[in-house]
A and B are shown apart, each in its own frame.
Chain A
């Protein structure tokens, strides 16, 4: 197992071996397991210890919470960029261009809230 592709051959053998072991284990399971497994009471319950799970697993959430959470994330991320900018924007070499660029950035994000407002997402009822 030497040469440029030699170690790939080793890897290939390893993969083949692992697939064989995998297939072998499952085949052995299929062959050895009883054809008619026992079905004692409670075997298929969620908790075999006997505790009943309470309620269904399908709970509905009011969609508005999701939308608000989303809008919050939008502006939280905006703030992350605003803080470092606020520290340096008045240093020499930055100046007006920097302010305009940040204004554009904020405007683009504001676009999102504008859209949300026009689509009546901000109304709670």
Chain B
């Protein structure tokens, strides 16, 4: 089992792999620095940069075949060197990074193309493309780094870019709030990642992937568990998984389905990447794997249940993202061959979710930015292209036989049944139930939007199809949604395996393959049928009183309330208490002097200067404690 991991030095074509990050970064810098002056060409420059990235990725991808272990690494320069800490700016290109690069540049290119049309009327379109390229550069850095610090650099860069994009339309207060929420929740996750990296330093003295993975075998299981849990915390933050899932749907407040898409198809997969990349750590500990699987299973159910109760088209899609990433977590958590399955599902999801988000954008574009699905209906005649492509995405996500979701989700469900003992039943049924629920709420969305009677608001008279530049990417993505499942049959799954451990001999699933497939199909069709029957005549235009479950789902299963009570309230209380001490307790009273000078001045009125005597008093108290701590303790007067 013990084998050392080594990466060949990058030579030839692959030596220039850093270009992948440099090109979008330079393009972003040019756009942002030129500001308004770049407005004329910024969108084309941004799109071309990503397009070039895609072509380069393809070239690198194919030249990777000849490399030993199909992985190359390249150290560019020494980044930090303090004592024993050495971190290099280095890149690693292996099948896992390659697949992510293809996804980021490929889907990213199509999104850029689409955004050229979608953002045509926004006067700050150039800034948008500047952020967009910055995002792509950071994301590529994240997946191309050869150590955890590089990953962290990209991680923070992605966070920053996504923060900027979420709050892009700052005129909406809800956008600003959502940006803040996303930021705070991500910080919680980031703290986990940072501490995990420091743990690696402390125990292994390095953050290079090769060193860490080779060294993990020699660590005690407690340390591995701790490290893994911290990494998992980071991953759940970025990928919107339980318990940090609440920010993701709110992020859909972002200006456009385009930026929302970032939070659906590319960025949120960073967590999956982190776990897949760290598989050596996660495979080293049974408990850890179980935790990842549980997080995945729980989140996928949470996402389905809440998704079924939402009426905002972007939010439904957002919760479905949460749920689909839950599947991926389930896959990477299962270990072994299921790693590759999760990555394939991630690819397929990238396609069909991009397709549906852009489709939703197209609908909104024609419906004056209406997002409430209760206000759609009957659009299939008016937006034939959008309808057709969206349908392909819908069939893919529900796992209709022949579409990609069927090929990628099925094996994960089967893999869940391959666990040992009763857990196979637990996780297997969670995955199956999720499939049924997914079919239900996605069909609800599809039916309410495109079929049934018109329920539009009065101001909409002629919904129209979107311009060709938006429809083009939609068609390409729809084709992708339909055939991406073919990847399963192709050698790509095999090809992914080298960086991922491959255990010989599958345990048999607790139910036979055929039974599982049948069950899942039955559940899927039941979900579709039920949703169609319930919603084919439309739905009530306002929120109806509902039972406990639906109400809870509408309230995001009370996750926000929970966060408020557990995280925000104590924090606010602590802050207030300290401020009280500092301003009142120590200052004694609000200083009349400042108030006298301030008069009408709003600024000075707020000055709460303290008395020197109270300051001196607090210093004295501090000094007493310090001296006591030194003298009394050291002299043993207290023991």
* Chain A interface (Cβ < 8 Å from any Cβ of B): 1-2, 6-8, 10-11, 14-15
Q: Name the distance in Å between A14's Cβ and chain B's nearest Cβ.
A: 7
Roughly how many angstroms separate A8 CA and B632 CA in the complex, as a whole number? Answer: 9
Contact of A6 among B628, B632, B639 (CB under 8 A): B639
Q: Size of chain B's interface in residues, with CB distance under 8 A?
A: 8
Roughly how many angstroms separate A11 CA and B633 CA in the complex, as a whole number? Answer: 7
Q: Name the distance in Å between A94's Cβ and chain B's nearest Cβ.
A: 43
Roughly how many angstroms separate A11 CA and B626 CA in the complex, as a whole number? Answer: 11
Q: Name the distance in Å between B153's Cβ and chain A's nearest Cβ.
A: 37
Is residue B55 within 8 Å, beta carbon to beta carbon, of the partner chain? no
Is residue B638 within 8 Å, beta carbon to beta carbon, of the partner chain? yes
Roughly how many angstroms separate A11 CA and B624 CA in the complex, as a whole number? Answer: 12
Roughly how many angstroms separate A44 CA and B639 CA in the complex, as a whole number? Answer: 48
Contact of B629 among A1, A2, A6, A11 (CB under 8 A): A11
Is residue B625 within 8 Å, beta carbon to beta carbon, of the partner chain? yes
**With A7-B633, A8-B633 as given contacts, are A14 and B625 in contact (CB-CB < 8 Å)?**
no
Residues of B617-638 whose CB lies within 8 A of A: 625, 628-629, 632-633, 636, 638
Q: Are A8 and B629 in contact (CB under 8 A)?
A: yes
A14 partner residues in chain B, CB cutoff 8 A: 638
B636 partner residues in chain A, CB cutoff 8 A: 7
Roughly how many angstroms separate A15 CA and B633 CA in the complex, as a whole number? Answer: 13
- Shortest Cβ-Cβ A-B pairs, 9 listed: A10-B638, A7-B633, A7-B639, A7-B638, A11-B633, A11-B629, A8-B633, A11-B638, A11-B632
Q: Chain B binding site: helix, strand, loop or mixed by DSSP? A: helix
Roughly how many angstroms separate A1 CA and B639 CA in the complex, as a whole number? Answer: 7
- Could you list 16 further interchain pairs (A-B, Cβ under 8 angstroms) beyond the known A1-B639, A2-B639? A6-B639, A7-B633, A7-B636, A7-B638, A7-B639, A8-B629, A8-B633, A10-B633, A10-B638, A10-B639, A11-B628, A11-B629, A11-B632, A11-B633, A14-B638, A15-B625
* 11 interchain pairs, CB-CB under 8 A: A1-B639, A6-B639, A7-B633, A8-B629, A8-B633, A10-B633, A11-B628, A11-B629, A11-B633, A11-B638, A14-B638
A6 partner residues in chain B, CB cutoff 8 A: 639
Q: Name the distance in Å between A5's Cβ and chain B's nearest Cβ.
A: 9
Q: Name the distance in Å between A85's Cβ and chain B's nearest Cβ.
A: 38
Identify the interface centre among A1, A8, A11: most chain B CB within 10 Å of its CB.
A11
Total A-B pairs, Cβ < 8 A: 19
B632 partner residues in chain A, CB cutoff 8 A: 11
B639 partner residues in chain A, CB cutoff 8 A: 1-2, 6-7, 10
B629 partner residues in chain A, CB cutoff 8 A: 8, 11
Residues of B196-239 whose CB lies within 8 A of A: none
Q: Name the distance in Å between A11's Cβ and chain B's nearest Cβ.
A: 6
Q: Chain A binding site: helix, strand, loop or mixed by DSSP? A: helix
Roughly how many angstroms separate A73 CA and B638 CA in the complex, as a whole number? Answer: 46
A15 partner residues in chain B, CB cutoff 8 A: 625
Chain B residue at minimum C-beta to C-beta distance from A5: B633
Chain A residue at minimum C-beta to C-beta distance from B638: A10
Roughly how many angstroms separate A6 CA and B639 CA in the complex, as a whole number? Answer: 8
A7 partner residues in chain B, CB cutoff 8 A: 633, 636, 638-639
Q: Name the distance in Å between A18's Cβ and chain B's nearest Cβ.
A: 10
Roughly how many angstroms separate A11 CA and B629 CA in the complex, as a whole number? Answer: 7
Q: Name the distance in Å between A27's Cβ and chain B's nearest Cβ.
A: 15
Q: Name the distance in Å between B25's Cβ and chain A's nearest Cβ.
A: 48
B625 partner residues in chain A, CB cutoff 8 A: 15
Q: Name the distance in Å between A10's Cβ and chain B's nearest Cβ.
A: 4
Roughly how many angstroms separate A2 CA and B639 CA in the complex, as a whole number? Answer: 8
Chain B residue at minimum C-beta to C-beta distance from A2: B639
Q: Name the distance in Å between B321's Cβ and chain A's nearest Cβ.
A: 48
A10 partner residues in chain B, CB cutoff 8 A: 633, 638-639
A11 partner residues in chain B, CB cutoff 8 A: 628-629, 632-633, 638
Roughly how many angstroms separate A51 CA and B633 CA in the complex, as a whole number? Answer: 50
Roughly how many angstroms separate A93 CA and B628 CA in the complex, as a whole number? Answer: 49
Roughly how many angstroms separate A1 CA and B637 CA in the complex, as a whole number? Answer: 13
Chain A residue at minimum C-beta to C-beta distance from B628: A11
Chain A residue at minimum C-beta to C-beta distance from B633: A7
Q: Name the distance in Å between B629's Cβ and chain A's nearest Cβ.
A: 6
A2 partner residues in chain B, CB cutoff 8 A: 639
Q: Name the distance in Å between B234's Cβ and chain A's nearest Cβ.
A: 31
Roughly how many angstroms separate A15 CA and B638 CA in the complex, as a whole number? Answer: 12
Identify the interface centre among B628, B632, B638: most chain A CB within 10 Å of its CB.
B638
Roughly how many angstroms separate A87 CA and B628 CA in the complex, as a whole number? Answer: 45
Roughly how many angstroms separate A122 CA and B629 CA in the complex, as a whole number? Answer: 51
B633 partner residues in chain A, CB cutoff 8 A: 7-8, 10-11
Roughly how many angstroms separate A14 CA and B637 CA in the complex, as a whole number? Answer: 12
Residues of B501-540 whose CB lies within 8 A of A: none
Roughly how many angstroms separate A49 CA and B633 CA in the complex, as a whole number? Answer: 47
B628 partner residues in chain A, CB cutoff 8 A: 11
Chain A residue at minimum C-beta to C-beta distance from B635: A7
Residues of B581-638 whose CB lies within 8 A of A: 625, 628-629, 632-633, 636, 638
Roughly how many angstroms separate A66 CA and B535 CA in the complex, as a whole number? Answer: 92
Roughly how many angstroms separate A11 CA and B635 CA in the complex, as a whole number? Answer: 12
Chain B residue at minimum C-beta to C-beta distance from A6: B639
Roughly how many angstroms separate A81 CA and B639 CA in the complex, as a whole number? Answer: 49
Chain A residue at minimum C-beta to C-beta distance from B637: A7
Chain B residue at minimum C-beta to C-beta distance from A13: B638
Roughly how many angstroms separate A1 CA and B628 CA in the complex, as a whole number? Answer: 17
Roughly how many angstroms separate A124 CA and B551 CA in the complex, as a whole number? Answer: 87
Roughly how many angstroms separate A15 CA and B629 CA in the complex, as a whole number? Answer: 10
Roughly how many angstroms separate A2 CA and B636 CA in the complex, as a whole number? Answer: 11
Roughly how many angstroms separate A1 CA and B625 CA in the complex, as a whole number? Answer: 19
Roughly how many angstroms separate A27 CA and B638 CA in the complex, as a whole number? Answer: 28
Q: Name the distance in Å between B636's Cβ and chain A's nearest Cβ.
A: 7
Roughly how many angstroms separate A28 CA and B636 CA in the complex, as a whole number? Answer: 34
Q: Name the distance in Å between A6's Cβ and chain B's nearest Cβ.
A: 7
Q: Name the distance in Å between A4's Cβ and chain B's nearest Cβ.
A: 11
Q: Name the distance in Å between B282's Cβ and chain A's nearest Cβ.
A: 35
Roughly how many angstroms separate A11 CA and B625 CA in the complex, as a whole number? Answer: 9
Q: Name the distance in Å between B578's Cβ and chain A's nearest Cβ.
A: 16
Roughly how many angstroms separate A43 CA and B633 CA in the complex, as a whole number? Answer: 46
Q: Name the distance in Å between A7's Cβ and chain B's nearest Cβ.
A: 4
Roughly how many angstroms separate A7 CA and B635 CA in the complex, as a whole number? Answer: 10
B638 partner residues in chain A, CB cutoff 8 A: 7, 10-11, 14
